Chain A
Amino acid sequence: MNLVESIKSAFRSVFSNKMRSFLTMLGIIIGISSVIMITSVGQGAQNSISKEFESFGSNLLQISLKSRQETGYSDYLREKDLEIIKKHPSIKYVSGLSYSSAKTKLKNPKETRNTQLLGVHPDYNLIAPIDIIYGRYITDNDNMSRGKVCVIDDALANKIFSYEDCLGEKISVVTWRGTSKLTVIGVYKNPNGILASAFADQMPSSVYLPVNTVQDLFGRNYYEQIFATLEDSSNASSTALEIVDMLHRSHRLEDTYYVQNSVDQLKQINKVLGLITAFISFVAAISLLVGGVGVMNIMLVTVTERTREIGIRKSLGAKNRDIKVQFLIESIILTFIGGTIGFILGYLGGYLVGLKMNITPSISTFMVILTISISCGIGILFGVYPASKAAKLDPIEALRYE
C-alpha cells in the first residue's frame, strides 16, 4: 500500500473518532504548548536584555575595586585615576560614577519613593545614553560648580509634579545625612526596559546628578566605579587588562582593581537565562512524555478494537509491514496534529505573557522544525510498539475476534 493511501486512511480513522483523538492529543498539546511558550518568552527576554545592553554599548568597560574592605581609602578610584584611564588610546569616553540610593518626597500623597542617585560626568550620556525630552543633561560646569541640579525621568516628574515639563522645579531628596533640594534641569524618557517594567513600582527611578554633587551629599570624594567606552570593541579584553595594569602601577599595588567588559557580562546573563529556560522547558517536556504514553495507550486500545479489521486486511493481502505502517502513521498523525495545535497555542500563550511582561516572544525556524520533529518523533516512539503488535497478529485469530 502506498504512503498517500496509508495517510488518507489514517486521517479517516483519526477523524472518525474525534473526541477520543482530541483527548489523546491533549497531553501532546499541553506539553508542546508549554515548551513553546517558555522558550519563546525566554528567547524574547534574552533578546530584549541584549538590546538593553546594546543601548549601553557593547564596548563598555566598568572599572571598580575588587574589594572595598581590603583597599585603603586613599587607593579608592578618584579623579586622577579617571585622567589615567582617559590617556589610554583605545578609550573614547570616560565618566566617574558615584551612586547611592535615596528617597524622594512626593507632593501628593505625602509619600516617599525610592530613587537611585547617579553622580555622573557629562560623558556618561554618551556611554549610557538617555532620551532627554526637556532641558539638558549634566555639564562640566554643573560638576565644577558642584551645582544642586538633577535630571529626572518623566514618570517621576509626573509623580511629583503631575506634569512632565518641570524644569526649574525643586525636588527633595532624603539621605541619611538629611534632606536636600535639587533643581530639575532635565527630564528624560523612562526607557521602559524589561527589568524596569517588570518591577514597575519597586524599581527605583534613576536621578542623574553631577558626580561632585553626589559626593557632597554623601560626604565622600571617590567614585564607586569608572565607566569607559572603547573606540573599538574588538580589543575589549586586552584594553581592560592594560587599564588594570596602569592603575596598579600608578598606585603601586597589585590585585586591587578590576575591569568588567560588557561583552562578557552579556554572555553570562544570556547563559543564565538560557539555563533557566532550558530547565523549565525540560520540566515541561516531561508532560510530553506523559502525553506520549497516552498516545501509546490509546493506540493499544485501537489495535485491540480493530483486531478483526487487521485480520480482514491481512486476508486480503496486507503484509505485516502494511499493517505496521498504517498504525504507525495513525499515531504520528495524532502527535503531529497535537504538536501543531500545541505550537499555535504555545505561541499565542507566549504572546499574551509577552504583552504582560513587555517582551516580544521569539521563535526561531529551528524551534518550529524541532517542535514538529519532536511531535512526530513521539508518535513514532510510542506508536512503534502498538503498531508492531498489530502487525504480528495471526490472521486466523484476528478474523475470529469478536
Chain B
Amino acid sequence: MIEVKQLNKIYSNGKFEVKALRDINVEVKEGEFVSIMGPSGSGKSTLMNILGCLDKTSSGLYKLDSVDISSLKDNSLADIRNKKIGFVFQSFNLLPKLSALDNVEIPMLYAGYSAKIRKQKALEALTKVGLEDRIHHKPNELSGGQRQRVAIARALVNTPAIILADEPTGNLDSRSGEEIMAIFQSLNNDGSTIVMVTHERDVALHTKRIITFKDGKIVSDENVDNQILVGGDNR
C-alpha cells in the first residue's frame, strides 16, 4: 500500500538546511494499523505531510497504491488526496459554517459526484460513525468526540486507500479518545489501512504496529503484541 524508500526531506531557507527526514524506509501493507510515535521535531509530522501528498519529497521514492507520487504535479496530488487519502486532524478541521452532512460532502464535491449520490454517501458515512441523528448539526453544536467522528466520516467518504490520522485523540478527553480509537479499530477490522501519529503510548497501543522516530530517523519499528481492543459497541 505504502512504499517509502531512501526518502529525504530537507528544508532550506537559503542559509540553513534542516534535514527533517533522513533516509527513511517504510512499508505499510494493506489492512495495517500503524502508529508513528516520537517527540516533537522528530519528523513524524513531516512524514505524515509527505504521505498525505501535502508536501513533496526532497529525494527518494514514495509509492502509494503502486503509484509513484514523487513525480506528480500539484493537480495530480490534489486528485490523490481526494480519492486515495482520508485525513483526520487533531483539531478536526471541520468548516464551522457547514452542517455535519455538508462537511462530509466536501471531498465528494471535488470528486464530482452528483448531489444525490453525495447526500446518500455522506449519510452512509455518518451512520458508520454513529452520527445519523446529528447530520444537520453544525460543528459548534457537537461535542469534541462527535466532531472528530464527523471528520472520520469525511475521511471515509471517498473510500480512500489509506486513512492518515494526525493526533486524532489529542484534543479529546480520554473517553472520547477511546470512542475514536474504537471506530478506527472497527474500520481496520473492515479492511481499512490506517496510519496514525500520536505521542501517547497508550493510544499507540491500540494499533497493531508502532514506528518510533527520533531526529528524522526511524529508531524502532515493532509489532504490538498486546493490542488494546476497545470492546463491544464500537460507536
The answer to whether A1 touches B109, judged by C-beta atoms less than 8 angstroms apart, is: yes
A244, CB-defined interface residue at 8 Å: no
B152 CB, nearest partner CB in chain A, Å? 13
Bound CA–CA A399/B54 (angstroms)? 10
B33, CB-defined interface residue at 8 Å: no
The answer to whether B97 touches A316, judged by C-beta atoms less than 8 angstroms apart, is: no
The answer to whether A315 touches B52, judged by C-beta atoms less than 8 angstroms apart, is: yes
A240, CB-defined interface residue at 8 Å: no
The answer to whether A315 touches B109, judged by C-beta atoms less than 8 angstroms apart, is: no
A111, CB-defined interface residue at 8 Å: no
B23, CB-defined interface residue at 8 Å: no
Q: A312 to chain B: which residues have CB within 8 Å?
A: 93-95, 106
B164 CB, nearest partner CB in chain A, Å? 10
The answer to whether B54 touches A317, judged by C-beta atoms less than 8 angstroms apart, is: no
A153 CB, nearest partner CB in chain B, Å? 68
B145, CB-defined interface residue at 8 Å: no
A294, CB-defined interface residue at 8 Å: no
Stretch at the interface among B81-89, B124-132, B169-177, B188-196: B81-89
The answer to whether A317 touches B110, judged by C-beta atoms less than 8 angstroms apart, is: yes
In the complex formed, the residue of A with least CB distance to B75 is A319
| CB neighbors of A among B48-107 (8 A) | 49, 52, 54-55, 74-75, 78-79, 81-83, 87, 89, 93-95, 97, 106-107
B232, CB-defined interface residue at 8 Å: no
Q: B106 to chain A: which residues have CB within 8 Å?
A: 312-313, 316
The answer to whether B110 touches A319, judged by C-beta atoms less than 8 angstroms apart, is: yes
The answer to whether B49 touches A2, judged by C-beta atoms less than 8 angstroms apart, is: no
Bound CA–CA A314/B97 (angstroms)? 17
A395, CB-defined interface residue at 8 Å: yes
The answer to whether A316 touches B82, judged by C-beta atoms less than 8 angstroms apart, is: yes
The answer to whether B87 touches A316, judged by C-beta atoms less than 8 angstroms apart, is: yes
In the complex formed, the residue of B with least CB distance to A319 is B78
Bound CA–CA A1/B93 (angstroms)? 20
A9 CB, nearest partner CB in chain B, Å? 8
In the complex formed, the residue of A with least CB distance to B87 is A315
The answer to whether B78 touches A16, judged by C-beta atoms less than 8 angstroms apart, is: no
Encoded as 1 (CB less than 8 Å from any A CB) or 0, chain B from 35 to 57 comes to 00000000000000100101100
The answer to whether B74 touches A320, judged by C-beta atoms less than 8 angstroms apart, is: yes
Counting contact residues on chain A (CB < 8 A from B), the size range is 20 to 34
Q: A309-B95, A320-B75 are in contact. Are A315 and B54 (CB under 8 A)?
A: yes
Bound CA–CA A321/B75 (angstroms)? 9
Question: Which listed residue (B81, B94, B158) contacts A315, Cβ 8 A?
Answer: B81
A12, CB-defined interface residue at 8 Å: yes
Q: B89 to chain A: which residues have CB within 8 Å?
A: 399
Question: Which listed residue (B54, B97, B110) contacts A12, Cβ 8 A?
Answer: B97
Q: A12-B97, A396-B55 are in contact. Are A317 and B49 (CB under 8 A)?
A: no
Bound CA–CA A397/B79 (angstroms)? 19
The answer to whether A316 touches B107, judged by C-beta atoms less than 8 angstroms apart, is: yes
In the complex formed, the residue of B with least CB distance to A1 is B109
Q: A1-B110, A2-B112, A16-B97 are in contact. Are A319 and B74 (CB under 8 A)?
A: yes
Question: What are the nearest 4 A-B pairs in CB distance?
Answer: A317-B82, A317-B110, A319-B78, A316-B107
Besides the known contacts A5-B109, A321-B75, 18 further A-B residue pairs in the complex with CB atoms under 8 A apart? A1-B112, A2-B112, A312-B95, A312-B106, A313-B110, A316-B81, A316-B87, A316-B106, A316-B110, A317-B79, A317-B110, A317-B111, A319-B74, A319-B79, A320-B74, A320-B78, A396-B54, A396-B55
